[in-house]
Amino acid sequence: MQILIRSLLEQLGEDPSREGLLKTPERVEKSMKFLTSGYTADIPDILNGALFTVDYSEMVIVRDIDFYSLCEHHLLPFFGKCHVAYVPRTQVIGLSKIPRLVDVFSRRLQVQERLTNEIAECIRETIDPLGVGVIMQGTHLCMAMRGVEKQNSATVTSAMLGTFRSDARTRAEFLQLVK
């Protein structure tokens, strides 16, 4: 990877041997490995047994989860807030594990639409709740820094599964609580 980064710098007209760029290939490699570490993450290890049987059937929400990802089209960052809700059937997930799941799927080359669905599907597959809702609001630097150059635009995506899709009251409650 470092050889490719050196070549990229040369193709951009830079001198990779100048002082400010000497360690750039090493730093970029380390950064890219961290920013795409979701590919090697193991969901059961992330959850670490934090699934608990409970007698609780009301909505559980973890909101305002910061996320950072890379656009798969331009390799530029997109970032924002994620809100996750579910209505348990028999199990709940330890609250700190939900932001960790968001990180796993965010740390891949992504589009926001797929990212939203992957988080919802993972929770559905993990605990089989009555429903799952995920809303993400993101700022995409590929839109702000290049292309249309719209710095104040936001992209909002949602995934509504189970009762969040079939029951308008459940969906409305979720939307109101994360407003």
User: Which CATH number applies to 45-178?
Assistant: 3.30.1130.10
pLDDT of residue 10: 98
Given 83, 110, 112, 118, the catalytic residue: 112
Phi, psi for residue 145 in degrees, rounded to 5: -95, -20
83 as an active site residue: the answer is no
pLDDT of residue 147: 87
142 as an active site residue: the answer is yes
| Structure tokens that stand for 177 in this block | 């609580």
CA 95 to chain centre: 16
| Structure tokens that stand for 69 in this block | 């990802």
26 as an active site residue: the answer is no
Given 83, 118, 122, 140, the catalytic residue: 140
pLDDT of residue 123: 98
pLDDT of residue 68: 98
What CA dihedral angle connects 118, 119, 120 and 125, to 10 degrees? 80
Task: Say if CB 2 and CB 29 are below 8 A apart.
Answer: yes
122 as an active site residue: the answer is no
72 as an active site residue: the answer is yes
Angle at 117 between CA 35 and CA 108, to 5 degrees: 15
140 as an active site residue: the answer is yes
pLDDT of residue 94: 97
- Round to whole Å and give the CA distance between 78 and 139: 5
73 as an active site residue: the answer is yes
pLDDT of residue 93: 97
Domain boundaries, the chain: 2-35, 45-178
Task: From first to last of the 179 residues of the chain, give the pLDDT tens digit.
Answer: 999 999 999 999 999 999 999 999 999 999 999 999 999 999 999 999 999 999 999 999 999 999 999 999 999 999 999 999 999 999 999 999 999 999 999 999 999 999 999 999 999 999 999 999 999 999 999 999 988 888 889 999 999 999 999 999 999 999 999 98
Contacts of 19 (CB under 8 A, 6+ apart): none
